[in-house]
Chains A and B, each alone.
Chain A
Amino acid sequence: MSTATYVSKRAGDGKVTLPRVVTAEWIKFRSLRSSWITLVVAAALTIGFGALFCWATMSRWDHLPAEERAAFTPAEHSLRGFFMAQMAIGVLGVLVVTGEYSTGMIRASLSAVPKRLPVLWAKALVFGAVTWVVATASVLVAFFVGQSILAGKHLDTTLSAPGVTRVVFGMGLYLTAVGLLAVALGTLIRNTAGGIASVFGVLMVLPLLSEALPSSWQDHIVPYLPSNAGQALTHVTQAPHEMAPWPGFGLLCGYVVVALVAAAAVLKRRDA
């Protein structure tokens, strides 16, 4: 029996730092095939549905009623695939966290980083950055593909038209915020099915449910729902009662921050 206490020597002398945890989360993210498959699906939905909507509208254009023609906005139309893409991004954002709980990986993650919060911040940072890049790139592609289709009837617009740049880049920001909201909900709920259901609930069911409210209430609630507030940034002109673009997106960011702070509090406190 030896009495000298062992001192670690073969593993460097690094401490846990936030940049290192970010590197670790990036390795984790890129080493799962499901990450890439879901991102490709999100991009394909954005571009594919955008093109499909543009093509359908263009081919029916001559038969469309006048009021529909008047309401037509080519920029928004080419980005309508976002509605499906936000679900793919929401699912992936949930999985980034709940995939660790369902496999037990979370115990390894939290043993390596027992302060815990850096894990959440790093996940949000990595997933937010990846989502922003992929979403912005695919939104740009969807925009140009859509406009080239609409050009067949000279319905197309350009990035330099009023509000269009804001709408195109705003869509990338909106999708990023949705991804971060999903990371927070995944951390709060810790269960894949429940997390995905809650993302669907917030983004799709809440707006539908609120339409059942008396119309005098609707004006006070509907515009301030996370999805509607954030999507204000992706509209060229605002509908009546809709929030202004940047305040609307600011409110969505507020919801995301609240959700992330709640997730942090829960992650710190709960047993892993």
Chain B
Amino acid sequence: MIEAVGLTKSYGPKTAVQDLSFSVRPGIVTGFLGPNGAGKSTTMRMLLGLDTPTSGHATVNGRRYADHPAPLREVGAMLEARAIHTGRSARNHLLALAATHGIPTSRVDEVIDLVGLREVARRRAGGFSLGMGQRLGIASALLGDPATLILDEPVNGLDPEGILWIRNLLKSLAAEGRTVLVSSHLMSEMALTAEHLIVIGRGRLIADTSVADFTAGASRGGVRVRTPQADELAVLLRELPGAMVAVEDEPGVLTVEGTDSEAVGRLAAEHRVVLYELTPRQASLEEAFMELTRDAVEYEAVVRPAELVKESAA
């Protein structure tokens, strides 16, 4: 169980995280999402006591992280940047961490096998590929067999096989009753892995929702209509309350938002407009995520593709 209460972090004039409160339950994977610079990594560092919050506080299993007498057995973490000395072998890295808690060497070898690094465990970590580095990060996190895991973008840089491996690992860890908080940029990946989502943007909480609710909410994506009488239908549709019509570049194609396919179909029938196509368009999870965080994007291209569409449609 992780609880954040009013977490705020400022770096000079820059507020990276602002008044963020959430709780992360055990037994499920919770996805922590937000665009670049949203404050995910900063929040995770505050959970681990590495950065001191400007105000607010965070607890893990009822205590501040630093107040646990054996923190590695309470929380396992993998942070964004690799927290490994490049000159040391993977095994020695884990042995040193284990020594701080009197964790036996057998457990070190166990986690090495678990993440599949046995062959390279005695090689310098500096020579590791991105994927091997991520696996070593996971091994460090699992070392203390902790009840809570905090992982910052664990799939970053992994190949499809590695991504699948992480996905299954996280689910099985959660199924054992652990609390699992995983950050990501990828909504689609989280939809497959997580059961619950915490979405932040510009350091503020945007959504705290189950994946099921988010996915259901994402489905209102407008209706695509193809008709030889596009101009006529567009005029009629604009009179429907709440409906917004966009004329697409493709000839005879309209996109209607704010209403559903039934209403469009009925309207067309009433006015004897011929329809070739009437398709409810499902916004992808990724689009829904971008929609949700649009106003909270920290770093963005000067012109947003979404705006281009709106302008050409107007």
Contact = CB atoms under 8 A, between A and B. Distances in A.
- Please classify how large the interface on chain A is, using the bins under 10, 10 to 19, 20 to 34, 35 or more: 35 or more
A12 B103 contact: yes
Given A5-B147, A16-B69, A111 B48 contact: yes
A107 B41 CA distance: 13
A24 interface: yes
Chain A interface, DSSP helix/strand/loop, else mixed: loop
Nearest to A31: B92
B159 interface: no
Contacts of B93: 31, 105, 108
Nearest to A112: B100
A20 B99 contact: yes
Contacts of B195: 1
Interface in B25-75: 26-28, 45, 48-52, 65-66, 68-74
A19 to B, nearest CB: 9
Interface in A1-47: 1-17, 20-21, 23-25, 27-28, 31-34
Contact of B27 (A2, A13, A15): A2
Contact of A111 (B73, B77, B85): B77
Contacts of B144: 8, 11
Interface in B85-110: 85-89, 92-93, 95-104, 107, 110
A110 interface: yes
Given A6-B178, A104-B82, A271 B50 contact: yes
B236 to A, nearest CB: 49
Contacts of A7: 147
Given A16-B70, A32-B87, A24 B100 contact: yes
Contacts of A15: 69-70, 101-102
A27 to B, nearest CB: 4
A107 B101 contact: no
A121 to B, nearest CB: 13
Contacts of B237: none
A103 B289 CA distance: 34
A269 to B, nearest CB: 8
Contacts of A272: 45, 50-51
Given A10-B145, A32-B87, A103-B86, A108 B140 contact: yes
A223 B147 CA distance: 57
A265 B107 CA distance: 34
A242 interface: no
Contacts of B50: 107, 110-111, 271-272
Contacts of A11: 72-73, 98, 101, 103-104, 107, 143-145
Given A1-B195, A5-B1, A14-B103, A103 B69 contact: no
Contacts of B132: none
Interface string B129-152: 000000000001001111100000
A115 interface: yes
A111 B51 CA distance: 11
Contacts, number: 158
B79 interface: yes
B85 A8 contact: no
B62 to A, nearest CB: 11
Nearest to A21: B100
A31 B70 contact: no
A3 B177 contact: yes
Contact of B107 (A4, A10, A16, A34): A10
Interface in B233-258: none
B84 interface: yes
B84 A10 contact: no
A99 interface: yes
A6 B26 contact: yes
Nearest to B61: A5
B216 interface: no
- Of A25, A107, A108, A113, most buried by chain B (CB within 10 Å of CB) is A108
A156 interface: no
Given A8-B74, A104-B81, A271 B52 contact: yes
A99 B92 CA distance: 16
A16 B98 CA distance: 10
Given A8-B147, A31-B93, 11 more contacts: A1-B27, A2-B27, A3-B26, A9-B145, A11-B144, A31-B95, A111-B83, A112-B97, A113-B71, A114-B48, A271-B51
18 contacts: A4-B177, A6-B26, A6-B179, A8-B145, A11-B101, A23-B99, A24-B97, A32-B85, A33-B87, A100-B85, A104-B79, A107-B83, A108-B84, A112-B97, A114-B66, A271-B51, A272-B50, A272-B51
Q: Which 7 A-B pairs have the closest CB atoms?
A: A14-B102, A31-B92, A114-B66, A24-B99, A108-B83, A6-B177, A10-B145
Interface of A: 1-17, 20-21, 23-25, 27-28, 31-34, 99-100, 103-108, 110-115, 269, 271-272
Interface of B: 1, 26-28, 45, 48-52, 65-66, 68-74, 77, 79, 81-89, 92-93, 95-104, 107, 110, 140, 143-147, 175-179, 195
